[in-house]
Every structure is written in C-alpha cells, then in structure tokens.
Structure 1
C-alpha cells in the first residue's frame, strides 16, 4: 500500500486483521490464559508451591497492567509496527525461558511479568492501529476477528496444554507454546499497516478525553467487575457449590471458552447492523441476565447458558468498546490514547475485583452473593451509559444515534 492510496484495499485490511488476531492470540491467549491449565502441573510436579505458583500468576497480571499503562508511550520512541513485532517475539521468548525449571522463582517471575507486559502493549497498540486502516462499515467485523484470539486462547489452552504435558512433560509444554507463538509472530510480521503518517498513534498532547469517552471507560471497568465471578469462580461453583464434581465444572469452562471464540465476531456483526451504542446497551442487558442466572437457579441447563453468554462477552465487550471509542474520538491519536486508558481500566478493575471477591468469598462462602454483586456492577454500567447518552460528542456536535 503506497502512501498515496486514499483507502486501504480489502487485502491490506484482511492482512492487518490477521496480524491483530495473531497479536491478541499470542499476547493474551497464549501468554496469559495458557498459564491456567499449566498451574496444576506446576504444583503437582513440584516446580513451585501453590502460593509461589499463584504469585507467578499475579506477576503476569502486574505486567499486563504495566504494558497497558506504558505501551502507548513507547510508540513515541519506537515505530508501532516494530514495537508490536518486538512484543510478540518477547512473548515467545518468555514462554521458552520458562522451560528451564532449575533457575528458580525469580527467573520465572521475571518472564511471567515480561509476558504480561507484552500482552498489555499488544492490546493497547495493536488494536487501534488495525482499526485505523479499516473502513467504518467493516470495523465491527474486523474488531471481532481480532478479539477472537482471546477466546481461542481460552478454549485451545484447555485442550492443547494437557496434551503437550502428557506428550513431553512441562518442559515440552512450554517449548510447544513458544513455538506456536513464534509461528504466529511470523504470520503477522508483514501484516501491520505501514502508512504511519495516517495511523500515527503517538499523542502529541494530553487533551482531555471528554465526558462520553470517560463514561465509556468507567462502564468498561464496571463490566470487568461484573464478569470476574464467572472468570474466577465458575468451575468451583459448579464443582463444589452445586456438588456436581470437577468434570462438570470443567465442561462449563469449555463452553465458556468456545463461546469466547465466537463472541467478538458476533458482537462486531451486531454492531455493524445496529450501531455500536445500541449493541453496547444490548450487551449490558444480556450480561446482567446471564450473570444473574446463578443467583436465581442452580439448574444445569441455565448455568450452561450463563457460562456461554458470559464467555462470549469476556472478549466480545472489547469489540464493542473499541468500536464505540472510534465513534466518539476525533482522530487516531485520541482513539489510541482512549483505548489505552480503556485497557488499563479493564485490567485494574479486574485485579481489584478479583481480590475483593476472593476476600468476600473467604469470609462468607456465598457464591450467589458474588454473582449478585456482578449483576449490580453491570447494571450500574448500563445506567451510566444511559445517563451519558444525552451528552455531546468531543467534537461539539450531537452524538450519533448509533
């Protein structure tokens, strides 16, 4: 694509979308979620104690927060395409480094933090760049394609990682994950948009985000709070809370992951039809109903429905929020900055909520209470969206009916 092309061709859009998908899959699907099925083996094979293994999970989350906060600023010094390639390589290297069990906790802590940092940078820098070169009518679909990588990571990690461990133990599991990450890195290498005059994501000034975007960031954080009970307690609730056993709980988690694969694309297609604002409001309603199901019923069928809907929106809500940011923000730098703040809001809200829910559960042992708080958080997000609906856009004109 030359600098004189007024619009990107369909081939360039598809290649960029594939690069964005690969980056999300590597940074979040493999660099982050693949650790969950590795955790029991790390403990049972005596690589780490349960508490140490948990701290390694926290290191990854801390790195993700750091990447979300600092990643956008890094584009001032490194061209975005080079930065994204470097972060994908860093993720692959971090996974490979974890194949060496004898270097101790500090070694693993460093590389799990690095994997989280890379994932945060890939999320805040990669997605806005891809959408910046996507025609408005295709942004819902392209955004959905990218965030499908999160769901694919959830689903695939639960299937592939146990097979890798059975095949060659934890060492080869880490090596296998690194190899897949490197392959996806090569697949995305030349897919990043090159017209950086038009795709500039480096904010020259710290302009205000405006009320509509600020409200959207708060809604996104509240949505994260609402989904944490499913992300943390779903399997335990089904297995122990309902007394159905670990196999039943694992089955619900697979449904959660499979739904997360399709959720972003379906959300994007819905937004392309009815607009991002309407789709976002509908998403809040659907999530509130889904999270409320474990509060009002313990029937297996309804819990399965709850798992599917919540799983679909773990990545699906990101498609809608990113698209809505592109509607509300005036240009590339503002859009990139807003998406960076949104990613930080999600990560921070998720971390704080996880601690709060864990503390509350330890004191009450009450699953329905946790899901009830989640419903309240999502309803608060919906109320905030409705209240902000009458405000004006950052450009000073009335907001789109979308």
Structure 2
C-alpha cells in the first residue's frame, strides 16, 4: 500500500499535471494549428494568452480570501473540473472575444488549483515530516507538459483538427481529476495552536520585510521573462523553415526537462541557499529565452527548450517555498500574492510579444526584453540575504 505522504504528493502532482501542464500550457502546442486554421494573427494569439494569465492573476487574488466555505480539497477538485470544461469549450468557441473569455476562465481555474493544491499538499507534507516530497509534487507540471506534447503530436499526425485537440485535452484532464480524487482522499486538520501562531507572527515581524518585497518583484519579472517563450516557442519553431517538424519534439523536451527540475534545484538550494539557486536559475533561463530566437538551428532550439524547461518550474517552486518561509499565518495568502505577482508579468508578456511580432515580423525584441527581465530578477534575488 502506498504511504499516505507519497500518495498525497502523487495526487497533487496529477492535479498540477492536469491544471498547469495541460489546462494552462496545452495552448502552446495547439496554437500553431489555431494560427493556421482559425486563423489567428500573432497579436490575437498573444491577446488570448494574456487573457488566460489575467484570469490566473484574478484567480490567485480570489484564492487569497481566507474564509471561503468548504475544504481545500473540494475547491481544488472543483477548480480542476472547471479547467476541463473550459478546455472543452475552446473546441466549440469561435471569435477572439469568446476565446479570450474561455482562456480567462481557464486561467482563473488553474490559479485556484495551484493555490489550494499547494496549500493543502505542502502543508500536509511538512506536517508529516516529508517536505522533501515537494519535488515529486511540483514534477506534475513537467509531466503534464510532456503528456500534452505526446498527446498533441499523436493526434495531429492522425489529422485531428485543433478542435479535437482541445476536446482530447479536456478528456485527459478529467481522467487526471479522477485519479487525483482517489489519491488525495482527505486533508489533515491544522495542528498549530494559537500560542504557536502568535509566536511565529512575533518572529516574522523581527525580519526585514524588504526580503519578501524583493522576492515578490523578482517573481513578477520572472513571470514576464519566461512566459513569452513558453507561449510562442511552438510558433517560433514553425516559423523557421530550418526547424520544420520540430515543434512537437521541442515541446516534449520542455516537459521532460521540467519534470525532474525541482529535485535538481532543491539540491542546489541546499548546497548554497534558496536565493542563490533562484538567481542561478534565472540566469540560465535568460540564456534559454535568448537562444530561442537566435536562429542557431535545431541543436540550439533544443538547448533553449531544455534550459527553459529545466528552470521555469524550479524558479516557481523556489519562489513559493521561500515566500512561505518569509511569512506566517494562512499559507494560502502568501501563495496567492506570489501567484498574483507572477500572473501580472504573465499578462504583459504574451500581449507585448504578439504586438511586437506584428510590427517587426519576429519574436526577437520581446524575447530579448524577457531575457533582460530575468537577469534583473536574478540580481534582486542575489542581493537578498540568504536565511
């Protein structure tokens, strides 16, 4: 029989695979088919992606309310069901406004899943003394991306249209929802007494709040820095004749690199510090983002995919875990604030990239701006004193 902490981590990973790896990121491998067959201009594609991330931002803020009725588990599973519904509805939608509305709702749902799943899983793992299983939990995003790459590649080579790709993604989300519900059976009640909470609050008040503020700012820059590549990399590949046929492989590399990345960056953090690991990962990701538009050929775009895949979830997890260390009280609140700052950067990124593409004919200028933002984020983290 699977031990309860491991079962919880796997169930949480499946939630992230469905809501993030598929619900949030499957737009990337489906996008080239929509651009060609809807059709969509790059600016329209960027606006749809921005709507998704705006929903993500609003969902994160909504998730910060501490008195929502019901259990975290029920909110997590309900939001995951909503993610599946919005994905299926994309196949039935038509027109820019409808696509934007559906992706907004999908982003809202994915933020709810991340906030409630992270709060439930990370807290219960810490309570059980198995915080090391957080790497398994966060690996769900990369596994979901890899699964979406295989799914979209298989169906597209079978001449399934973009509508069928959305329906298949929704069906996969429902299957993962069922598996998650069977694994995440219940949540443990809080065990922290009021006196312990007061003591923790006193402790945090003695810390320098600037550390948390810099982390929030760096997280917003990271959101802007990674999202352009993660949204448009399949389109970037398809637009380059020298990379013809590589879009599915490139997206698969992103997912495969992301799946074990949390464990790797946790080890880096344990040997240096979380802030140092955050900084190193941002610099590596900046290189990956810049390489994506360098026109260097197949090996360079695969290296770019590997660098972005191997860092974006590491930075995400390091930021969330470090934020929890720098705060007390209901962890859902700081997780929501961090997710919201992240979402703000994500809203700006694809919108700007789409319009710059319409003006210049490429994603180079937007991607280089994104790489610079990641370097600034690395500087903010590097200057923050390690705990």
TM range (shorter): 0.7 to 0.9
After the TM superposition, which of the residue ranges 260-269 and 318-327 deviates more from structure 2? 260-269
8 Å CA contact 2:17–2:144 kept in 1: the answer is yes
Residue in 2 that maps onto 1:354? 350
Local SS of the residue matching 2:64 = helix
Q: Of 102, 115, 129, which aligns to 2:106?
A: 115
What is the distance in 1 between the residues matched to 2:295 and 2:243? 18
The question of 1:50 aligning with 2:43 is answered: no
Residue in 2 that maps onto 1:128? 119
8 Å CA contact 2:292–2:305 kept in 1: the answer is no
What is the distance in 1 between the residues matched to 2:294 and 2:97? 45
8 Å CA contact 2:29–2:247 kept in 1: the answer is no
Q: Of 36, 53, 59, which aligns to 2:28?
A: 36
- Closer/same/farther in 2, CA of residues 238 and 129 from structure 1, 3 Å limit: same
8 Å CA contact 2:139–2:262 kept in 1: the answer is yes
- Closer/same/farther in 2, CA of residues 37 and 384 from structure 1, 3 Å limit: closer
Deviation at 1:118, TM superposition (A): 1.0
Within a 5 Å distance, the mapping from 1:43-122 to structure 2 comes to 48-50=38-40, 56-73=48-65, 75-98=67-90, 100=92, 111-122=102-113
The question of 1:150 aligning with 2:141 is answered: yes
Residue in 1 that maps onto 2:253? 255
What is the distance in 2 between the residues matched to 1:56 and 1:277? 33
Residue in 1 that maps onto 2:7? 15
What is the distance in 2 between the residues matched to 1:378 and 1:105? 30
What is the distance in 2 between the residues matched to 1:134 and 1:246? 44
8 Å CA contact 1:199–1:332 kept in 2: the answer is no
Deviation at 1:54, TM superposition (A): 6.5
Residue in 1 that maps onto 2:317? 319
Residue in 1 that maps onto 2:227? 228
The question of 1:159 aligning with 2:165 is answered: no
8 Å CA contact 2:11–2:184 kept in 1: the answer is yes
- Closer/same/farther in 2, CA of residues 270 and 187 from structure 1, 3 Å limit: farther
After the TM superposition, which of the residue ranges 65-74 and 231-240 deviates more from structure 2? 231-240
Deviation at 1:182, TM superposition (A): 2.1
- Closer/same/farther in 2, CA of residues 367 and 128 from structure 1, 3 Å limit: same
Deviation at 1:84, TM superposition (A): 1.0
Deviation at 1:382, TM superposition (A): 1.9
- Closer/same/farther in 2, CA of residues 278 and 56 from structure 1, 3 Å limit: closer
8 Å CA contact 1:95–1:178 kept in 2: the answer is yes
- Closer/same/farther in 2, CA of residues 198 and 180 from structure 1, 3 Å limit: farther
Local SS of the residue matching 1:133 = helix
- Closer/same/farther in 2, CA of residues 266 and 368 from structure 1, 3 Å limit: same
- Closer/same/farther in 2, CA of residues 23 and 164 from structure 1, 3 Å limit: same
- Gap regions ≥5 residues in structure 1: 1-9, 390-398
Pick 1 or 2: higher relative contact order, CA cutoff 8 A, min separation 6. 2
The question of 1:176 aligning with 2:172 is answered: no
What's the TM-score, normalizing by structure 2?
Answer: 0.80
8 Å CA contact 2:282–2:311 kept in 1: the answer is no
Deviation string, structure 1 residues 81-120 (Cα, Å, up to 9, x no partner): 221121122223333445556x988776654433221101
After superposition, the CA RMSD in angstroms is 3.6
- Closer/same/farther in 2, CA of residues 353 and 170 from structure 1, 3 Å limit: closer
